[in-house]
């Protein structure tokens, strides 16, 4: 597997790296924990773009599918000082850690981590069209299901971002390992669906592990 800057030349990667944003002690600690424990969190270059998008959009309501330890959740909550964030996570141990980290970030009043299987959708109290920004980052094999479940919750002109859409480059390199090939094929189908979806205008950025950005018509 290549580095996190696999889609650009090594020289370009080294140059771009000079412009990484400063992170506070909390985010640096979470990056270190994720590295040490092999917890898959979003690449730094991708989350910088997500935070910029959420800020440009003035997103006040953000839904995240897949919290892990709350790294991306904290970045997204910090996009706007009054943004409300809801994040769904299936793994109870992750929920506990994420809540602790979000508390440490001083964001508990604006961020709610819900312990829930995202394939069940949102609890009934959430209305359709109530989110300005949705970030999908849970099980890659279930992206199509998440799209169907959560797109109705995105308001018109809202932004949908999906991580790992290039799947370490495997989505366009026909991997021989059967499980990887299966996931790559599912992701390719998902990307096609996003691109041809009548309600979405989608573009893919080959940064990090590949992110798609869609605007809802
Ligand atoms: C890639 S990690 C999320 C990383 C996080 N967004 C970040 O960048 O800091 C994916 C997370 O999705 C969770 N997950 C997987 N399937 C899920 C499901 N059906 N419902 C909710 N969470 C799920 C996993 O437990 C894992 O913690």
Q: Tell me: the pLDDT tens digits for 29-58?
A: 999 999 999 999 999 999 999 999 999 999
Residue to mutate, 85, 88, 138, ligand 1, most ligand atoms under 8 Å from C-beta: 138
| Centroid of ligand 1 to alpha carbon of 66 (angstroms) | 3
The angle, 0 to 180 degrees and rounded to 10, between the axes of the packed helices 92-104 and 25-37 is 160
Q: Tell me: the pLDDT tens digits for 194-214?
A: 999 999 999 999 999 999 999
Contacts of 206 (CB under 8 A, 6+ apart): 7, 8, 166
Entry pTM: 0.96
161 lines ligand 1 (CB under 6 A): no
In whole angstroms, what is the distance from residue 5 CA to residue 211 CA?
13
For residue 4, name the pLDDT band (cuts at 50, 70, 90): low
| Centroid of ligand 1 to alpha carbon of 11 (angstroms) | 32
Residue nearest to atom 27 of ligand 1 (CA): 68
41 lines ligand 1 (CB under 6 A): yes
CB 56 within 8 A of CB 215: no
Q: Tell me: the pLDDT tens digits for 42-100?
A: 999 999 999 999 999 999 999 999 999 999 999 999 999 999 999 999 999 999 999 99
């Amino acid at each position: 597997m290549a580095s996190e800057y696999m889609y650009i030349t090594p020289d370009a990667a080294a140059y771009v790296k000079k412009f990484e944003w400063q992170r506070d002690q909390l985010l640096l600690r979470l990056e270190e924990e994720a590295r040490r424990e092999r917890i898959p969190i979003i690449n730094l270059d991708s989350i910088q773009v997500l935070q910029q998008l959420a800020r440009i959009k003035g997103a006040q309501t953000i839904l995240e599918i897949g919290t892990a330890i709350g790294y991306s959740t904290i970045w997204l909550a910090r996009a706007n000082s009054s943004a409300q964030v809801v994040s769904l996570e299936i793994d109870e141990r992750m929920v506990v850690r994420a809540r602790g980290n979000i508390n440490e970030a001083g964001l508990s009043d604006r961020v709610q981590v819900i312990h829930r299987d995202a394939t069940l959708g949102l609890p009934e109290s959430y209305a359709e069209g109530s989110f300005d920004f949705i970030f999908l980052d849970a099980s890659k094999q279930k992206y199509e299901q998440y799209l169907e479940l959560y797109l109705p919750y995105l308001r018109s002109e809202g932004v949908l971002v999906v991580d790992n859409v290039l799947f370490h480059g495997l989505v366009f390199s026909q991997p021989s390992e059967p499980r990887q090939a299966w996931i790559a094929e599912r992701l390719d189908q998902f990307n096609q669906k996003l691109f041809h979806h009548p309600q979405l205008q989608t573009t893919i950025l080959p940064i990090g592990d590949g992110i798609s950005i869609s605007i809802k018509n």
